[in-house]
Structure 1
Amino acid sequence: MKYNLQTGSHTVYALQYHFVTVTKYRAAILTEEIAERIGEIANELSEDFGVDIQNVNGGADHIHILFTAKPTTDITKFINSLKGVTSRKVRSEYPEVKQTLEDSFWQPGYFLASTGQVSIDVLMDYVEDQ
């Protein structure tokens, strides 16, 4: 099997995640400019958490973020910080958004999946053959 590996002082790892969150009430307020700004904010925050943002994209009412993380990263803390900071900054910088979504920007929940670099079938075969 071939992985795109990262290393730490005593570890070798490949941790990749797909994160999706939705605007409150599924309000269609994410313009291309706002989505870009969310990407910028995500990149700024990522440095504090040891996260590497790979891609940010989405639709009018949701955003997808692909990122890699270290084994020591507190993923929940990163996501909560990401949602909180983007909510505050976007509502502050874009008055039209604050008019639509006054109290909060994102729905409370989110989707998160580890992406892996090989299919589960390949991994199962590999483990079985060991």
Structure 2
Amino acid sequence: MKYNLEKGSQTVYALQYHFVTVTKYRADILTDEIAERLGEIASDISEDFGVSIQNVNGGSDHVHILFTAKPTTNLTKFINSLKGVSSRKVRDEYPETRQALDSAFWQPGYFLATTGQVSIDVLMEYVEDQ
């Protein structure tokens, strides 16, 4: 089993996450230009949290972000910052989004899952064979 490993002073880890958030009321307002800007904003914010953005994509009403993090990353703070800052910046830079949405850009909730570099079945087999 081979992982893409990161290293800290006394740790070795591989922490990847899949994050999804949805526009308020699932409004169809995410154009390609706005999605690209969201990727830039995510990259800027990630630097402050020691997070590395791997990919940003989505549809007209949602965004998917794949990222890697450190074991010490406060994921809640990172995601709250990501949603708050991106909401403010996109609404300021793209006034048409303000017209489509009253007070908030994103729905309050989100989806976050850890991703593995191997399937759970392969991992279970590996652990059983140890």
Q: Normalising to structure 2: TM-score of the pair?
A: 0.99
For residue 7 of structure 2, what is the aligned residue in structure 1? 7
> Deviation of residue 28 (structure 1)?
0.1
For residue 90 of structure 1, what is the aligned residue in structure 2? 90
C-alpha RMSD of the superposition: 0.5
> Deviation of residue 101 (structure 1)?
1.1
Q: Summarize deviations over 1:96-117 as a string: whole Å, max 9, x none.
A: 0011113100000001110110
> Deviation of residue 89 (structure 1)?
0.4
Q: Which runs of 5+ in 1 are unaligned?
A: none
For residue 113 of structure 1, what is the aligned residue in structure 2? 113
- Please state whether the residue corresponding to 1:114 is helix, strand or coil: strand
Q: Kindly, what percent of the aligned residue pairs are identical?
A: 82
> Deviation of residue 129 (structure 1)?
1.1
> Deviation of residue 122 (structure 1)?
0.7
Q: Aligned residue pairs: how many?
A: 130
Q: What is the alpha-carbon distance in structure 1 between the residues aligned to residue 121 and residue 95 of structure 2?
A: 49
Q: What is the alpha-carbon distance in structure 1 between the residues aligned to residue 40 and residue 92 of structure 2?
A: 15
For residue 55 of structure 2, what is the aligned residue in structure 1? 55
**One-letter code of the match for 2:31?**
T
Q: What is the alpha-carbon distance in structure 2 between the residues aligned to residue 129 and residue 95 of structure 1?
A: 57
For residue 36 of structure 1, what is the aligned residue in structure 2? 36
Q: Summarize deviations over 1:71-124 as a string: whole Å, max 9, x none.
A: 000011100000000000000000100111131000000011101100001100
Q: What is the alpha-carbon distance in structure 1 between the residues aligned to residue 95 and residue 12 of structure 2?
A: 45
List structure 1 segments (4+ residues) > 6 angstroms apart after TM superposition.
Answer: none
Q: Which runs of 5+ in 2 are unaligned?
A: none
For residue 18 of structure 1, what is the aligned residue in structure 2? 18
